[in-house]
């Protein structure tokens, strides 16, 4: 069978860092075009916009939307209407409600819509989930601290409404948490620190629980210089689990259970190919729902103005 002909929309940091190598390494899918206003890739057909791509390259079967979240719904709707399978970078959109009509459109057309959560493809996530299914968690502490200037250099969209600010990385922790815990969680309180000159938070502190009263505390910070922290520590009936490096490493009472080079995006593209083959969708809005809850329930504080 011929590989699925894929186009990347929005050739920015994540498309170059992760999507290009993962697509090249995945059987069953091949990069056939780029739609990006400013960026091109040697040897690959280029279109300035998604509209031009859809009009002029009917052979394209699927698109990966690597643009900022604020414009993604409209692009996904256009691509689905044109009969393309759609992969959404995280977060899947700028609001929770905009996604259901996309799922309906995909299902009605027999197309795949895949809302990716790349951190769920980190190697320690499934082992942690299996462990917690057998050993009840007693408390959870999340520390997600990174340097926005390193990971999102000059990306003003991230501090615009819908850009999520520090929840752009924080939602990755929530995507892991919602996968590994045995029960649904819900927010009980939050504090969100907004720079005076920006529309999205630069730091946040959150408390969640579940139906059993499990205490879950999370600290998100976008101004972490030096070593970066992407850790989830879980006290459980079977010992203390520590997922670190964003889910690449797992220890139990200090003993290493998993320590693998991160290969999240290869897993994403294998899953996309499989979903398309099965005519299925994969859209889980739980992480986005928790972030929306934080914006709804969170107390807002002022932080110093932010500049790059
Ligand atoms: P980025 O570097 O800003 O790239 C996004 C690209 O989308 C831009 O280069 C731009 O290319 C295009 N674009 C289209 N409309 C745009 C608009 N209104 N404003 C800005 N750019 C626009 O961002 P990114 O870091 O790749 O992030 C893209 C998505 O991937 C986000 O949802 C982010 O959460 C997710 N992600 C990022 C990372 C990371 O570490 N950076 C990790 C995982 C996931 P043209 O100008 O050529 O059109």
pLDDT tens figures, 36-69? 999 999 999 999 999 999 999 999 999 999 999 9
What is the predicted pLDDT for the residue at 263? 84
139 and 247 in a single domain? The answer is yes
CATH number at residue 236: 3.30.360.10
Q: How far is the CA of 301 from the centre of ligand 1 (A)?
A: 27
Q: Which residue has the least CA distance to atom 42 on ligand 1? A: 14
140 belongs to a structural domain: yes
148 and 241 in a single domain? The answer is yes
Confirm or reject: Cβ of 67 under 6 Å from ligand 1.
Answer: yes
108 and 26 in a single domain? The answer is yes
Burial 264-299 (b: 16+ CB within 10 A, else e): bbbbbbbbbbebbeeeebeeebebbbbbbbbbeebe
Confidence of residue 261 (pLDDT cuts 50, 70, 90): confident
pLDDT(259) > 90: yes
75 belongs to a structural domain: yes
| Substitution candidate for ligand 1 out of 19, 34, 48, 66 with most atoms within 8 A of CB | 66
Q: Which residue has the least CA distance to atom 37 on ligand 1? A: 14
268 belongs to a structural domain: no
84 and 141 in a single domain? The answer is no
Instruction: Please compute the mean of the pLDDT values over residues 153-182 and round it to a whole number.
Output: 97
Q: What is the pLDDT of residues 208-246, one digit of tens each?
A: 999 999 999 999 999 999 999 999 999 999 999 999 999
Q: How far is the CA of 160 from the centre of ligand 1 (A)?
A: 13
What is the predicted pLDDT for the residue at 47? 98
84 noted as active-site residue: no
Instruction: Please compute the mean of the pLDDT values over residues 99-128 and round it to a whole number.
Output: 98
Q: How far is the CA of 1 from the centre of ligand 1 (A)?
A: 32
Confirm or reject: Cβ of 19 under 6 Å from ligand 1.
Answer: no
Confirm or reject: Cβ of 137 under 6 Å from ligand 1.
Answer: no
What is the predicted pLDDT for the residue at 202? 98
Are 60 and 32 in contact by the 8 Å Cβ rule? The answer is yes
Confirm or reject: Cβ of 118 under 6 Å from ligand 1.
Answer: yes
105 belongs to a structural domain: yes
Confirm or reject: Cβ of 94 under 6 Å from ligand 1.
Answer: no
- Expressed as residue numbers, the domain containing 58 is 4-115
pLDDT(206) > 80: yes
286 belongs to a structural domain: no
pLDDT(106) > 80: yes
283 belongs to a structural domain: no
271 belongs to a structural domain: no
126 and 25 in a single domain? The answer is no
Of 58, 86, 115, the last residue of a domain is: 115
149 and 297 in a single domain? The answer is yes
pLDDT(188) > 90: yes
18 and 154 in a single domain? The answer is no
102 and 136 in a single domain? The answer is no
Burial 28-41 (b: 16+ CB within 10 A, else e): ebebbbbbbeeeeb
Of 13, 84, 90, 145, catalytic: 90
What is the predicted pLDDT for the residue at 1? 77
Burial 212-238 (b: 16+ CB within 10 A, else e): eebebebbbbbbbeeebbbbbbbebee
Q: How far is the CA of 97 from the centre of ligand 1 (A)?
A: 22
Domain count, the chain: 2
| Substitution candidate for ligand 1 out of 68, 72, 172, 268 with most atoms within 8 A of CB | 68
Q: Which atom of ligand 1 is nearest to the CA of 155?
A: 3
In the chain, the percentage of residues whose pLDDT exceeds 90 is: 99
132 and 244 in a single domain? The answer is yes
Q: How far is the CA of 210 from the centre of ligand 1 (A)?
A: 34
274 belongs to a structural domain: no
The sign of the torsion formed by the CA atoms of 31, 4, 274, 64 equals positive
Confirm or reject: Cβ of 68 under 6 Å from ligand 1.
Answer: yes
Of 115, 137, 169, the last residue of a domain is: 115
CATH number at residue 33: 3.40.50.720
Confirm or reject: Cβ of 268 under 6 Å from ligand 1.
Answer: no
63 and 206 in a single domain? The answer is no
Are 215 and 270 in contact by the 8 Å Cβ rule? The answer is no
96 and 123 in a single domain? The answer is no
Q: What is the pLDDT of residues 120-140, one digit of tens each?
A: 999 999 999 999 999 999 999
57 and 103 in a single domain? The answer is yes
Of 52, 84, 115, the last residue of a domain is: 115
Instruction: Please compute the mean of the pLDDT values over residues 70-83 and round it to a whole number.
Output: 97
Q: Whole-model pTM above 0.85? A: yes
> What is the average pLDDT value for the chain, to the nearest integer?
97
Instruction: Please compute the mean of the pLDDT values over residues 281-305 and round it to a whole number.
Output: 98
Tokens representing 246? 């964003």
């Amino acid at each position: 069978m011929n590989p699925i002909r894929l186009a990347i929309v929005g050739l920015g940091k994540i498309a170059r860092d992760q999507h290009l190598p993962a697509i090249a390494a995945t059987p069953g899918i091949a990069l056939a075009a780029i739609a990006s206003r400013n960026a091109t890739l040697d040897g690959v057909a280029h279109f300035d916009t998604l509209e031009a791509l859809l009009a002029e390259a009917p052979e394209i079967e699927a698109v990966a939307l690597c643009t900022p979240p604020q414009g993604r719904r409209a692009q996904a709707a256009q691509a689905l209407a044109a009969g393309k399978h759609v992969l959404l970078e995280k977060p899947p959109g700028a609001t929770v409600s905009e996604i259901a009509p996309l799922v309906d459109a995909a299902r009605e057309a027999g197309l795949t819509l895949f809302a990716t959560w790349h951190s769920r493809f980190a190697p320690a996530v499934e082992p942690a989930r299996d462990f917690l299914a057998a050993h009840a968690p007693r408390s959870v502490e999340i520390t997600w601290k990174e340097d926005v200037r390193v990971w999102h250099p000059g990306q003003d969209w991230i501090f615009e409404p819908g850009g999520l600010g520090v929840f752009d990385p924080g939602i990755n922790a929530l995507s892991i948490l919602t996968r590994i815990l045995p029960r649904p969680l819900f927010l009980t309180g939050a504090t969100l620190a907004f720079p005076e000159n920006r529309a999205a938070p630069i730091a946040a502190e959150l408390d969640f629980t579940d139906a059993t009263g499990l205490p879950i505390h999370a600290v998100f910070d976008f101004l972490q210089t030096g070593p970066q922290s992407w850790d989830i520590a879980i006290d459980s009936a079977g010992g203390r689990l520590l997922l670190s490096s964003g889910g690449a490493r797992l220890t139990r009472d200090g003993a290493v259970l998993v320590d693998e080079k991160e290969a999240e995006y290869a897993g994403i593209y294998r899953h996309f190919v499989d979903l398309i083959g099965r005519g299925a969708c994969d859209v889980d809005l739980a992480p986005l729902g928790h972030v929306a809850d934080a914006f709804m329930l969170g107390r807002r504080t002022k932080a110093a103005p932010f500049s790059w």
